[in-house]
Amino acid sequence: MAKKVLIVGGVAGGASCAARLRRLSEEADIVVFDRGPYVSFANCGLPYYVGNVILDEKKLLVASADLFQTRFNIEVRTEHEVMAIDRERREIEVKRLSTGETYRERYDALVLSPGASPIRPPLPGIDLPGIFVLRTIPDSRRIKDWIGEREAKRAVVVGGGLIGMEMAENLVHLDLSVTVIEMLDQVLPPLDPEMAELVHQHLQAKGVSVRLRDAVASFEPSPEGALAVRTKSGEAFPADLVVLSIGVRPETKLARDAGLALGERGGIRVDEAMHTSDPYIWAVGDAVESRDIVTGEGNVAPLAGPANRQGRVAADSICGRDARFRGVQSTAVCGVLGLTVAATGANEKTLRRAAIQYEVIYLHPGHHAGYYPGAKPLHLKLLFSPGEGRILGAQAVGLEGVEKRIDVIAMALQKQATVFDLEEAELCYAPQYGAAKDPVNVAGMIAANALRGDAPLARWEDLATSGAMLLDVREPAEFAAGHIEGAVNLPLPQLRRRLPELPREREIMVYCGVGQRSYYALRILAQHGFKVRTLPGGLSTYVQFHPRLTSAGKAGS
């Protein structure tokens, strides 16, 4: 066991590494350095502190320097910045920020957990007062104070990622009118665009204005003392404050300057034991690049769960245990003004880039049994491999029960389970919580039916070019209220007796409201020798791809 362990960064990864080390070794001399005034604070709680959901700042302090000392016998030096690593001498150079004095400290093992810094693009006006990023407790205080002192009414959030969405929600809580500017064609990049469309609609319904496909070009002071955020399209958005949330960059300066290897995505390269390219240095958290469980590529996933787990693995490794980090799968959840959005594994964009073959299904069940009051729709997308049915990723959006389904699928994905395993998963059920066939089971069944050839799937993107007959098996009134252009209506109850009206040579693509009746129809048609596939998720999925038809396309079962 190394005698002296120095840890750079005392929040998620660093603090969990330090505490685990002490649990494994009473002898180790452990010192944690952080350039900020706090260690072990809840960065994930910061947006809610800004939004006055968390009222007491002290609640954000998970553990103090004093607690580390008294409970764990770990020395914490806050406001001490580590400036350089001397790998030959196994020393670090530290600057005491209160005095500017520097000193050296020797190590037997060094752990880097410096996190990731918010990106601040060098745009004209970026340093104007009123433009904020959110990473630390002092950042959150500055935003709160600014809103209070200026009596801010209008906020622009630049970037529609996880933190951008959380900030939009919390600024709405404070009664600010909020505009989100996002240069991509969707918010929340872990989602595929048709799933993000559900979030766009919800944001608009909650009064948040969303400007997509437009990048910020500059910030200008406006005559009445506020700001104008000018975009590439030439529009100017007035704002009393701006929150920049356009992503984070791994803090790799220390590692780079010390000649440690970096990965292809710019994070510190580590192996499964969180070892860097130097045998005496480990690295964890947002700063590192880990293996992605699905693609096998390097992945920089700035999330608290991986940082904590990696901290533990590094501690085990330093203590000579054979610990291995399994890799990251980007499991994440985000609340957006009452809507829950969650995802795990790869999305279609990632799978295409990594040239991994996949199939897609959608389903739109209630979050619990429909007969029990209060069931809310849940929109779930599952990606799996065409041959063995290995789970590759899942995304879900809804008001209730979203994260529970994604958590189950996340665990299955990590264990390399298949859609056949989801079919068989035994999950808890009482009517107020789920269904005897839980949405996770149903997702497995739809996918497994497709792989067994019982219910072949059509792809939504093939709709226009397939030449297939498009068959809508809903009731005439539903069809009249809205349908896919070119579809023929033949309601399910009439299907058996009207089979002679259907073509035998041409393929049939069948759909209904959410995919249930079309599945029954498919089984009838398939058993009568028709060439037929279903469009997964029915009209409810179609309107995600074609939002303009939303008013026409009310989906049933």
Can you give the binding site for ligand FAD, defined by CB under 6 A? 8-9, 11-14, 33-36, 43-44, 46-47, 81-82, 113-115, 134-135, 163, 251, 254, 285-287, 302-305, 307
Region of 349 (left: φ > 0; alpha: ψ -120 to 50; beta: rest) is alpha
Given strand 91-96, what is the order of strands in its sheet?
80-86, 91-96, 102-106
The Cα–Cα gap between 184 and 347 comes to: 16
For 212-331, list the strands marked E by DSSP: 216-221, 227-231, 236-239, 241-244, 248-250, 268-269, 281-283, 288-291, 298-299
Looking at beta carbons only, is 301 or 450 nearer to ligand FAD? Answer: 301
The Cα–Cα gap between 126 and 244 comes to: 10
Looking at beta carbons only, is 12 or 450 nearer to ligand FAD? Answer: 12
Q: Which of 44, 319, 334, 428 is catalytic?
A: 44
Cβ atoms 338, 186 nearer than 8 A: no
Question: Is 428 among the catalytic positions?
Answer: no
DSSP state of 458: P
The Cα–Cα gap between 431 and 321 comes to: 45
DSSP 121-179: ---TTTTSTTEE--SSHHHHHHHHHHHHHHT--EEEEE--SHHHHHHHHHHHHTT-EEE
Three-state DSSP at 8 gives strand
Nearest distance from C-beta of residue 110 to ligand FAD, angstroms: 12
Q: Which two tokens stand for residue 134?
A: 């959110």
Name the residue whose CB lies closest to ligand FAD.
Answer: 285
Nearest distance from C-beta of residue 164 to ligand FAD, angstroms: 10
Nearest distance from C-beta of residue 17 to ligand FAD, angstroms: 9
- C-alpha separations of 191 from 224, 396, 511, 536 in Å: 39, 9, 24, 18
Q: Which two tokens stand for residue 472?
A: 């809508």
Looking at beta carbons only, is 47 or 537 nearer to ligand FAD? Answer: 47
Looking at beta carbons only, is 268 or 457 nearer to ligand FAD? Answer: 268
- C-alpha separations of 311 from 279, 398, 453 in Å: 17, 33, 45
| Amino acid type, 296 | G
Residues classed as catalytic: 44
